[in-house]
Structure 1
Amino acid sequence: MSELAKNVRRYRRAAGLSQEDLAAASDLAARTVQKVEQGGTVRTETLHAIARGLGVPTSQLFVAGSPAPVVEDETTRRSLVPIRMALMPPVGLDGVIADRAPLSDTSVDLRQRILDVHTLYRADQFESVATQLPILLRQTEAAVSAASGKERRRATVTRALALLVSGKYLTQVRQYDLAYQALSEGIRLARDVEDRHTAAVGVVGLGWLLLRQDRFAECYQLAVTTAEAMEPRMADADSARVGLWGELWMRAAASAVRDNRPEDAKQARRMAARAAAGMSREDRHFPSTWGGFGPVKVSIKSIEDVLVKGQSVSDARQVVARSTRGVLEARSMRKLGFPAEGADWHRHRLDLSLAYTVLGSHQDAMDELSGIKVSGAEWIRHQPMARRVMGDILRSRKRTLTRDMRDMAAYLGIVG
């Protein structure tokens, strides 16, 4: 029996609940609770529901134990060897053993090239990003070594930005240890030269990584501590400072709702909304913010919370209804703009596709998946939720699958 299964059983018994009682409290089927306690594989959302039923943070259900075997994406892993070499070179008795990159650009030129690569990332041009990042990482490292005085500080910040973009890409493709290496080093460098804003942008990115690893309590503490340190004076702060502050509170909210801490989540969402209220449009600029911030982004992330907390028919209806209300109404969207990064809008559409699947509206779910594929073909291939939604459609659809459904299943690598 796994440690997770043991913990669920232990907390259930301590609360004096039967499996049926816990299932009712968690809004789950009794067989789902049985599956968890027998060590079966379940979704993270199911664990959130069980934690709510038990009245404990989700993180308390996870303890150290023997890890399950990791199924690697061999193609992705091999394509990242150059980035791994740049981030984690071999170290010998005399220091790092690696070829030095030629220093062909100034810090200003390197910064612009980093921003160009970030633009490619936003456009889901992952292959181009993976090709260019190793060169930039080596060249920014060489630039810091060659610089002195004020130029060294500028070169160090540029190096930090290269590391943050690397961490963003690596988190997206689920190479978490490499991502941590890049993000933590980027934060450290920015902090060392007293560029607190760039360091805090990196903290937002690190919070995203911690969320991906189900490290909810750590993410919440990191985000709140940093937000409190970076709180702007709303009367005279520029949009970049306000947007960064709002992003930090969104990280806090996302971690709190996943950790079954509703009051903390409500307070964090309130602070994020306060930040968004002071902005007339979405802030789409990196590196002033990590992934952009504004009223639209706050709204779609609060909708995401609904499906994290529950996936009942009523939850799904609420998600669909809210997707065209308020700032998400077409006229408001034209005025405010879309979120800076396509991934945020793609994720929102994935939430909609999941809601439609819960409602049994398979064609509506497919329309959302197909729309994402048009503008984010590479992005969607890295999304477990997309595979889960497509798998649910395959399992629950009674009629013959359409050609689009068969093609999407094949694209996402789903069989049966």
Structure 2
Amino acid sequence: MKISIGDRIRALREFRDITQDQLAERAEVSVDTIRKLEQGVRESARINTLRALARALDVQLERLVGQPTVTKELTPDGGLLAMRDAIQDPGSLPGVLGYVDLEDPPSPAEWASQVQAATDTYWAGGYSELAAVLPQLLRDGRATARQHDTEGVWRDLALTYQLAASLSTQSGHPDWAYTAVERQLAAAARASDPLLEGMGVSTLSWVLLRQGRWEQARDVAERKADQLEPPRRRATPDQLAVYGNLLIAAATPAARADQHDDAMELLTHAESAAVQSGPVRAYGSAFSVTDVRTQRVNVALAGTDGMPDAALDAAANVDLSSISRPVHSASYRVDVAQAKYQTGDQAGALELLLEVEAEQPQWIRVQAGAAATVREMLEAERRRNGALRGLASRLGVDPAL
């Protein structure tokens, strides 16, 4: 039996004991929209409406739209469950007897090389490959840290937990990601590296955002950015990169909360830092003027009153060829596709989504935003479009009835 978005809205609303009128008021959407969704008259709604409803119902967007997690799909031998067990390893908790290492762990240099390879795999979109290696990488990292208690080893362990948090979030498991961020921040403290802690807070902000905790997501990132704001004349590229990433992290939840002026101001400061730093790769992430400009597109689409025209104007200032990370390029193009569809260019939107799918088939399957846009396109479909329906099927989106 198919469970529709309207079914989920009704169940979540009734669980919270609120009326359709109360939900409409909280979400600032039309009560008629809610009625039509719950009655099955409409199969979906605009993504900004869905985000507002998810926020009002205190759930993740993925849960509202029914986007499946990929626990059993990413690897054939247990999926992400092995990574969950590695993140939430009881033996790593204080007071719990852990397991004795049966083999010698890799040397710090060897393990650091493996962490870098895993980071490259993540940004290339190789989620299946990464899900297969991360559990052992985490175990090896903890074993290496037990034998080599150095700041460098703890730094690499923090970066490994950052990868685990990012992959868990992308695949629909933000609760696992929260635990991974806790471990990431603890390792960063052992590394005595404030900038590494800053990247941990940036990751935490993203996890909170995916949990629907927008105010906290902005607050933790903005306060950490204020703490780490470097003296501009003496700032290093790494300092500027971490500071800028925190500002970007704060801008996204600000826009989701319809605080677009605040979000754009944060991005203006981030772009200023990027101009000074130049392109930087640091702490498992990248930072550049282009990275900031792609976020202007995302921010323009966020909130209950998305601005697709402004998003396309912002996209005109983005040099796609200068985006160094394949996954980042894919995310940006999904945003552009959404803006194209919302401005009436359905053919252009579909072409772009199919292009992204061809390049990043694993990544796009776990993107709720892409699925929501495709579902919206299906509902507006006037003539049967085989390419659109094929994409919908591969993303797990049922055609509108």
**Are the structure 2 counterparts of residues 401 and 12 from structure 1 closer, same or farther at C-alpha, using a change threshold of 3 Å?**
closer
Identify the residue that residue 397 of structure 1 maps to in structure 2. Answer: 381
Identify the residue that residue 54 of structure 1 maps to in structure 2. Answer: none
Identify the residue that residue 81 of structure 1 maps to in structure 2. Answer: 81
SS of alignment partner, residue 75 of structure 1: coil
Instruction: Quote the offset at 1:359 in angstroms.
Output: 3.0
Question: Max radius of gyration: which structure?
Answer: 1
Which stretch of structure 1 is more off in the superposition, 89-98 or 238-247? 89-98
> After superposition, where does 1:110-129 map in structure 2 within 5 Å?
110-129=111-130
Instruction: Quote the offset at 1:9 in angstroms.
Output: 4.3
Q: 1:253 pairs with 230, 247, 251, which one?
A: 251
Please report the RMSD computed on the Cα atoms of aligned residues, expressed in angstroms: 3.4
The whole-number CA distance in structure 2 between the counterparts of 1:101 and 1:87 is: 19
Structure 1, residues 62-84: CA drift from partner, whole Å, max 9, x if none?
Answer: 49xxx999965451483122222
> After superposition, where does 1:9-408 map in structure 2 within 5 Å?
9=21, 29=30, 31-32=32-33, 34=35, 45-46=48-49, 62=58, 73-76=70-73, 78-90=78-90, 95-98=96-99, 100=101, 102-148=103-149, 152-280=150-278, 282-283=279-280, 285-287=281-283, 290-310=284-304, 315-324=307-316, 326=317, 328=318, 330=319, 337-338=322-323, 340-402=324-386, 404-408=387-391
Percent identical: 21
Instruction: Quote the offset at 1:11 in angstroms.
Output: 9.0
The whole-number CA distance in structure 2 between the counterparts of 1:374 and 1:36 is: 32
Which stretch of structure 1 is more off in the superposition, 226-235 or 95-104? 95-104
Instruction: Quote the offset at 1:2 in angstroms.
Output: 3.6
Kept in 2: contact 1:269–1:302 (CA 8 A) = yes
**Are the structure 2 counterparts of residues 260 and 321 from structure 1 closer, same or farther at C-alpha, using a change threshold of 3 Å?**
closer
Kept in 2: contact 1:8–1:61 (CA 8 A) = no
Q: 1:409 pairs with 387, 392, 397, which one?
A: 392
The whole-number CA distance in structure 2 between the counterparts of 1:356 and 1:279 is: 32
The whole-number CA distance in structure 1 between the counterparts of 2:57 and 2:258 is: 11
The whole-number CA distance in structure 2 between the counterparts of 1:98 and 1:43 is: 50
The whole-number CA distance in structure 1 between the counterparts of 2:218 and 2:16 is: 22
**Are the structure 2 counterparts of residues 132 and 186 from structure 1 closer, same or farther at C-alpha, using a change threshold of 3 Å?**
same
Structure 1, residues 229-261: CA drift from partner, whole Å, max 9, x if none?
Answer: 111121221222111101101111111111233
When normalised by structure 2's length, the TM-score is 0.82
The whole-number CA distance in structure 1 between the counterparts of 2:67 and 2:356 is: 28
AA matched with 1:81: L
Kept in 1: contact 2:340–2:349 (CA 8 A) = yes
The whole-number CA distance in structure 2 between the counterparts of 1:103 and 1:378 is: 34
Kept in 2: contact 1:89–1:98 (CA 8 A) = no
Instruction: Return the structure number with greater relative CO, CA threshold 8 A, min gap 6.
Output: 2
SS of alignment partner, residue 379 of structure 2: helix
Identify the residue that residue 6 of structure 1 maps to in structure 2. Answer: 18
**Are the structure 2 counterparts of residues 142 and 406 from structure 1 closer, same or farther at C-alpha, using a change threshold of 3 Å?**
same
The whole-number CA distance in structure 2 between the counterparts of 1:172 and 1:146 is: 32
The whole-number CA distance in structure 2 between the counterparts of 1:301 and 1:8 is: 34
**Are the structure 2 counterparts of residues 269 and 61 from structure 1 closer, same or farther at C-alpha, using a change threshold of 3 Å?**
farther
Identify unmatched segments of 5+ residues in structure 2: 1-12
Instruction: Quote the offset at 1:104 in angstroms.
Output: 3.9
When normalised by structure 1's length, the TM-score is 0.79
